[in-house]
Amino acid sequence: MTQTLPTHADVEAAAARLRDMSLGVAVLTPVLRSAELDKRTGATVLLKAEPLQYTGSFKFRGAFNRLAQLSAEERKAGVVSWSSGNHAQGVAAAAKLLGIPATIVMPADAPTIKMANTRNFGAEVVTHDRLTEDRETIARGIAAKRGAVIVPSYDDPHVMAGQGTVGLELMAQAKQLDLTLDDVIVPASGGGLIAGVGLAVHHANPAAKVYVAEPAGYDDHRRSLAAGERQRNASTANALCDALLVATPGALTWQVNRTALSGGYAVSDAEVQKAMAFAFEHLKIVVEPGGAVALAALLAGHHPGSQGGRRRTVGIILSGGNVDAATFAACIAA
């Protein structure tokens, strides 16, 4: 079925829904500053702290925007989705707020905290083996049997628009600080967050550049931008950045991102761990591995903090903070 690409007006509408319909749950997440980070990178850096969002990641925004637009009949039938964890929690939390039954297909090796939180919000969890089973096929089978609505984690215009409220807020917060963002670096799995953020950023400042950050070996957006067409990752096996493991950029998100993005960076696990440790030590915030890749790209020097002798103003999306305690401890001690 052909879907219409989201517009900036859709992002604005999503922001209004989150303000008016989320029962006060959605958070206007803060922008964090660090003199040490500015010193190390040579940039003026604004960090959008989505680990402080309801459910611990940006995913609640898109999930709520999608579910809030369901009809009474669709709400009664329920929703089905698939996710390694953050979208699962976002859908489960939004469904609970709106009184909608939710079923989530999750990999059996998903972080314990993400699976437990999804169940705690009242969703039914169906597990699968990410190496031998296709989660989307399982989810669509369940939805077909129940007449439920599919809620994709990224390839949906309403989800993309909801995620774009991150960028909408970031640009407004930068303006309040009397700063103009030159660049924004965003983590990506299927590309829903960065597509929505790109819409908001370019509407506020057409000259700003948006860059994607991904874990090495799963840098399908970076390689797709270089090739001019969607590329596939060789594997989607479990890895440190569990939130960013998809086979290829989304079909719908790619239509936005192929022209909206200015480039991309692939970061190593070691660089991610250093970024997580920096956030903990200097920002006093817990960031999960996948949520730290944009910060890692800047800290590791993949993205320049200055150009032509001019300090650049860089926005960084810290996209989530849902990480098991043992994993987090190991990362910041590495």
Label each residue of 146-193 as H, E or C: HCCEECCCCCCHHHHHHHCHHHHHHHHHHHHCCCCCCEEEEECCCCHH
Q: Say whether domain 60-156 belongs to CATH 3.40.50.1100.
A: yes
pLDDT at 84 over 90: no
Query: Quick check: 332 and 276 in contact, CB under 8 A?
Result: yes
Question: DSSP state, 291?
Answer: G
Q: Is 143 helix (H, G, I), strand (E, B) or coil?
A: helix
pLDDT at 23 over 80: no
| Look-up of token digits 């939805």 | 143
Confidence at residue 15, expressed as pLDDT on a 0 to 100 scale? 97
Q: How far is CA 142 from CA 102, 108, 247, in A?
A: 11, 17, 22
Pairing mode, strands 261-267 and 306-307: unpaired
- Listed by start position, the domains of the chain span 8-58+158-333, 60-156
With helix as H, strand as E and coil as C, how does 300-332 read?
CCCCCCEECCEECEEEEEECECCCCHHHHHHHH
Cα–Cα distance for residue pair 245/190, rounded to 1 Å: 8
| Look-up of token digits 């007006």 | 9
Sign for the CA dihedral angle at 251, 10, 53, 172 comes to positive
Q: Which amino acid is at 269?
A: D
Token pair of 1, please? 């079925």
Cα–Cα distance for residue pair 123/133, rounded to 1 Å: 21
Architecture (CATH level 2) of domain 8-58+158-333: 3-Layer(aba) Sandwich (3.40)
For the segment 314-332, the average pLDDT, to the nearest whole number, is 96
Closest CA to 63 of 80, 50, 77: 80
| Model confidence pLDDT, tens digit, residues 105-153 | 999 988 888 999 999 999 999 999 988 898 899 999 999 999 999 999 9
Q: What angle do CA 328, 329, 334 make, to 5 degrees?
A: 100
| Model confidence pLDDT, tens digit, residues 268-296 | 999 999 999 999 999 999 999 999 999 99
Confidence at residue 303, expressed as pLDDT on a 0 to 100 scale? 98
Confidence at residue 22, expressed as pLDDT on a 0 to 100 scale? 65
Closest CA to 58 of 176, 152, 196, 180: 196
pLDDT at 306 over 90: yes
Phi–psi pair at 46, nearest 5 degrees: -115, 125
Q: What angle do CA 34, 193, 15 make, to 5 degrees?
A: 90
Confidence at residue 277, expressed as pLDDT on a 0 to 100 scale? 98
Torsion of CA 320, 326, 330, 333, to 10 degrees: 90
8-58+158-333 and 60-156, same CATH topology = yes
- Percentage of the chain beyond pLDDT 90 is 87
Cα–Cα distance for residue pair 265/88, rounded to 1 Å: 26
Torsion of CA 116, 117, 122, 124, to 10 degrees: -50
Pairing mode, strands 310-311 and 306-307: antiparallel
| Model confidence pLDDT, tens digit, residues 214-241 | 999 999 999 999 999 999 999 877 789 9
- Assign 103 a pLDDT band (cuts: 50, 70, 90): very high
Token pair of 323, please? 């990480």
Confidence at residue 290, expressed as pLDDT on a 0 to 100 scale? 97
- Assign 174 a pLDDT band (cuts: 50, 70, 90): very high
Cα–Cα distance for residue pair 22/303, rounded to 1 Å: 36
Closest CA to 241 of 187, 280, 201, 200: 187
pLDDT at 1 over 70: no
